[in-house]
Amino acid sequence: MNYFDILKVIAVVLSIGILVLFVRHYHKETLSVVEQAKVFFIGFISNLLDTVGIGSFAVIVALRRILGVMPDDVKLIGTMNIQAMVTAVFQMIIFLHYIKLDIITLLVAISMIALGGYLSGTIVVRVNAKIVHRVMIIAFAFTGVLLLLSQLNILNINGGADEIRGLKLAIFAIFMLAAGFLPAFGVGYYSLVKTSIFLFGVNPIIAFPIMASASAYQMPVTSYSFIKSKKFYAKSTVILIISGVLGVMVAAPLISKVDSYTLKWILLGIVVYNIVTLVKTSKK
C-alpha cells in the first residue's frame, strides 16, 4: 500500500464517521415527490459537471433558485458540504488512480484546505444570513474574475511540472488556506485551485486530483459544524448524495473528452447569475 492508497483509506473512514454523525442528527424534512425529483436532478447535474471541471456549488445554488427548493441559504450550504463529502471521495479514488502527482504538493493542499474548512465552518454557523449573503457575493465575484482572466488567457501560465517546492510551495499553501474558506459560504474553490496551478507553472491536469482529494478531507471538517447545529436539509442531503454519486460515475469516463474552455464560459454565466440573484435577495 503506497501513500496515495493510505490517503484514500483515511478519507473513506473520515467520511463514514461524519455520515454516522449525520444519521444521529437526522431530522424530518417534508418533500413532495416533485420536490424530490427536482433535488435528484440538481444532484446529478451538479456533480456530473463538478467531475469534469465545473464546481458543483455554483450549479446547486443556481438550480435550487430556479427550481424553488432548499430556500434557506445556511441550511443549503450545510447540505452542499455534506453531499460533496461523499462525491469527493469517489472522485478522489478515480483521479488518484489515473493521474500522477507529487505527494508533498498534494499533502500541503489537503492540510491547508482542510484547515480553512474547519476555521470557516465554525464561523459561518454563528453569523446571520445577511453576512453569509455578502461573503457569497464577494466570493462569487472573485471566482468570476479568475474565470474571466483565465478565459482571456491572462492567467493561463501552463507548465509541465508535477510538483511545487520552496517559496512557491509556501505561497501555494496560503492560496489553499483561502480556498478552504469558500465552501462554508456556499462557493466552490475549483477556480482558485486551478488558478494557483496555472500561476506556478504546473501541469493543470493535477488540479483534478488535488481538488477532489482536498474536498474529501475538507468537506467532512466543514460538515461537522453544520451537522452539530442541524443546519442542513436532511432528506435533500441523502437524495443529493445518491444522485451525485451517479453523476460522478457517468462523468468519470468523459474527463479526457471535455472541452474545458466551453465549460468555463458556462460556469462564468452561472456565477454571474448567482451574483445577481444573491444581490436581489440581500436587498430584500
Report the range of poorest mean pLDDT among 21-35, 78-92, 108-122, 253-267.
253-267
- Whether residue 232 is predicted with pLDDT greater than 90 in this model: the reply is yes
CA-atom Rg of the chain in angstroms: 17
- The pTM of this model reads 0.80
- Percent residues over pLDDT 90 in the chain: 38
Q: What is the pLDDT of residue 258?
A: 66
Q: Is the Cβ–Cβ distance between 50 and 87 less than 8 Å?
A: yes
Q: What is the pLDDT of residue 157?
A: 52
Per-residue pLDDT tens over the stretch 168-181: 899 889 888 888 88
Q: How many domains does the chain have?
A: 1
Report the range of poorest mean pLDDT among 6-20, 139-153, 208-222.
139-153
- The whole domain housing 44 covers 3-283
Q: Is the Cβ–Cβ distance between 250 and 50 less than 8 Å?
A: no
Per-residue pLDDT tens over the stretch 142-154: 777 877 887 787 7
Per-residue pLDDT tens over the stretch 81-123: 999 999 999 999 998 988 888 899 999 999 998 888 888 877 8
Of the candidates 16, 14, 27, the one whose C-alpha atom is nearest the C-alpha of residue 237 is 27
Take residue 119 and report the three cell numbers written for it.
476555521
- Residues with Cβ within 8 Å of 127's Cβ and at least 6 positions away in sequence, in order, are none
- Whether residue 216 is predicted with pLDDT greater than 60 in this model: the reply is yes
Round to the nearest angstrom and report the end-to-end CA distance of the chain. 55
